[in-house]
Chains A and B, each alone.
Chain A
Amino acid sequence: MTDHEPLLRTVSLTRHFRLGGYFSRQILHAVDDVSLTIGEREIVALVGESGSGKSTMARLLAMVYKPTSGDIVFEGRSLRALRSRRDQLAYRGKVPMVFQDPYSSINPAFRISHGIQRGIKLHRPEMSSRERQLEAERVLEAVGLVPARSMLSKYPFEMSGGQRQRVGFAQALAYRPKLVLADEPVSMLDVSIRIGVLNLMNELREREGVSFLYITHDIASARYIADRVLVMYAGHLVEEGPTEDVLQRPKHPYTQLLLSAVPDPKAPLSVGSSTDVGEPPKVVNPKEGCRFQPRCPYAIAECASVTPALRPLGPVHLAACHVARPDGAEAPAGALAGRDGAPNGNVPA
């Protein structure tokens, strides 16, 4: 993936928002200098807390927002070159989005067939109405909504949340996408059906050859389906690497904090020492320096003045931290290795 052109890559992608009026000098840095790649048939998880900029990333990639600076390159072509409406439409068909809330992202006044057929009409105008009907049935079957024909004539209110979310994926599939941007697709669903939707994403990758950008705050689900994990904090990409590398050997102190906070019934009955009550900052007119530094237990003087850049700490494992050490050199004092294991005795019974 490093040798040849990936499916999609971003180059120092940045998006700022002006807060308040037109002459306001309050600039919110939602996404700052993010360079990422997504390969063919790859599921990449973008993990972060609310306000970390992960949804802004999705909207930039979906061409909902224009970047403040930086670029997005899809199939070797910069999105800046997509000037005509037709080119832009083609891109949106290849990179559709699936939304978080299946209750508000489907028009309740129309049958399921309406949304799917409309998308096909728009993105694949060469199809006859008979072909459209067959294609709509095919995508519904692909997402496990059977019998497809009777599903097509249902209204959204007749479906459960999990079924609706599958409709969202079916709509996206009908465009023949290359990359689906899935923004928290399971967070509104009940736990017993979440896994079904995650498995569906995996199946669609296998059968339809689609890549996914899976945006989530739930690291455990990211581990379940993603090949690679990207961690965002306050608009910066702070760590990236193959899923197991990032989860088993997290380099960035923020990733470690995030992992230590995940409730895990299989872990031993140790509640740990996580007393962090900090929250991700709103990045308004930021100064130079690491944005996690105020919360970081390992911060050194350099962290307050120099913004750390992503640097390789393993073969394909990168982190943006001055303190983190490469694989095999777990200095200083093993501090970064065993954070979540550190017991301090105040374990609630």
Chain B
Amino acid sequence: MVDAILQVRELSVAYQTDEGEVVAVDRVDLELARGEFLAIVGESGCGKSTLLFAIAQLLSPPAGLKGGSVVFKGRDMVRLSDSELRALRWSEVSVVMQSAMNALNPVKSVAAQMMDVCRAHTSMSKAEIRSRSEEVLRLVSIDPVHLDSYPHQLSGGMRQRAMIAMAMLFTPDLVIMDEPTSALDVVAQRSLMMQIKELQRRFGFAALFVTHDMSLVSHFSDRLMVMYAGQLVELGETRELFERPLHPYSRGLLEAFPSIRGAKEHLLGIPGAPPDLARPPAGCRFAPRCPSVMTPCTTTAPELLEVNGSLVRCLMYEDAGLSETVRSS
């Protein structure tokens, strides 16, 4: 990619547990162009949040980086010192967490929290900070009178909006979002997604958006990455992936959602449960649950293949002739 703002290479994260090392993110590669919206979907425990934390350099023990690089605007964030990272955070990379109630300080007003951020990164005057804070709140359709509110005085949707407003303080180039809408009702969720998309169009930041709900991002993301058991299993254009999913897991996820339109179909979901990452299956990690499993799947770990412009990790496409191995493992 020519204009990549973020390049993640061979990123691996391991948790140190009593049972030994558990690799939660296994050699993930991804690139993000300026202004692009990339959604990462998967079930709980698939490593999607861990991947985000690793990219934002926010891992804390027992999780630790096992290898790989995260190049953001030409600099490898893995090698940056704490103070260099601090300078980067908020101003160039913002992170919006899943639970705003836990991410906001409950004993400080919204204004005071914005003040903290601004003081740490700029030499703006109090009045300037105040007016900038009002400005960003208006961006997310919150009346600036709420600047002096405490988090508990705001509704769930407003808290989440306030978090996004804070992330916008310095118009960063990359916004990392970990399920920002999962605690919200459908109506609030929809309007928050619209707001995020609108902000993105206005300011042109790139977005990494983690969710477990594939249908949520179907109309919002440019590309979609599906993770399973710590590995990238499919990555492609969002519409393409929805219309022609390649990996059996992606197909299963898509078929696990009942729809409010169209004919009523009997759905099966995906039988079984994700593997224990302390003891991953020998071959393909999805093989025990896969409806189109073949004999080699249980012994040969599939590599990431390029098929029609998408990446997929499945042996089905190995001999199809139209694929080429992206990386040998």
Q: Which residues of A contact B (CB under 8 A)?
A: 49-50, 160, 162-163, 190-196, 198-199, 217-221, 223-224, 247, 257-267, 269-271, 274-279, 348
B157 adjacent to A192 (CB under 8 Å): no
Q: Does B219 contact A (CB under 8 A)?
A: yes
A196 adjacent to B269 (CB under 8 Å): yes
Q: Does B191 contact A (CB under 8 A)?
A: yes
CB < 8 Å neighbour of B187 from A199, A218, A276: A276
Cα-based distance from A219 to B213 in the complex (angstroms): 15
> How distant is A258 from chain B, measured CB to nearest CB, in Å?
6
> How distant is A341 from chain B, measured CB to nearest CB, in Å?
12
> How distant is A248 from chain B, measured CB to nearest CB, in Å?
9
B201 adjacent to A348 (CB under 8 Å): yes
Residue on B nearest A190 in the bound complex, by CB: B43
Interface 1/0s, chain B 214-237, versus A by CB < 8 A? 111011100000000000000000
CB < 8 Å neighbour of B214 from A193, A194, A198, A265: A265
A220 adjacent to B43 (CB under 8 Å): no
A50 adjacent to B185 (CB under 8 Å): yes
Please report the number of residue pairs spanning A and B whose Cβ atoms sit closer than 8 angstroms: 127
17 A-B contacts (beta carbon < 8 Å): A50-B156, A190-B44, A191-B212, A195-B268, A196-B268, A196-B269, A198-B258, A199-B267, A220-B260, A257-B187, A258-B187, A261-B186, A263-B189, A263-B216, A264-B260, A265-B214, A348-B194
Known contacts A261-B187, A261-B190: does B262 contact A266 (CB below 8 Å)?
yes
**Complex contacts, B141 vs chain A, CB 8 Å:** 277
**Complex contacts, A223 vs chain B, CB 8 Å:** 258, 260, 264
Cα-based distance from A196 to B271 in the complex (angstroms): 8
**Complex contacts, B44 vs chain A, CB 8 Å:** 190
Residue on B nearest A50 in the bound complex, by CB: B185
**Complex contacts, A277 vs chain B, CB 8 Å:** 141, 157, 188, 191
Contact segment of B58-66, B100-108, B248-256 = B248-256
B186 adjacent to A217 (CB under 8 Å): yes
Q: Does B259 contact A (CB under 8 A)?
A: yes
B186 adjacent to A266 (CB under 8 Å): no
Cα-based distance from A266 to B242 in the complex (angstroms): 9
Cα-based distance from A267 to B262 in the complex (angstroms): 10
**Complex contacts, B216 vs chain A, CB 8 Å:** 263
> How distant is A257 from chain B, measured CB to nearest CB, in Å?
6
CB < 8 Å neighbour of A220 from B156, B198, B258, B270: B258
A162 adjacent to B191 (CB under 8 Å): no
B259 adjacent to A275 (CB under 8 Å): no
Residue on B nearest A160 in the bound complex, by CB: B273
> How distant is B270 from chain A, measured CB to nearest CB, in Å?
4
Residue on B nearest A197 in the bound complex, by CB: B269
CB < 8 Å neighbour of A192 from B215, B239, B270: B270
**Complex contacts, A218 vs chain B, CB 8 Å:** 186
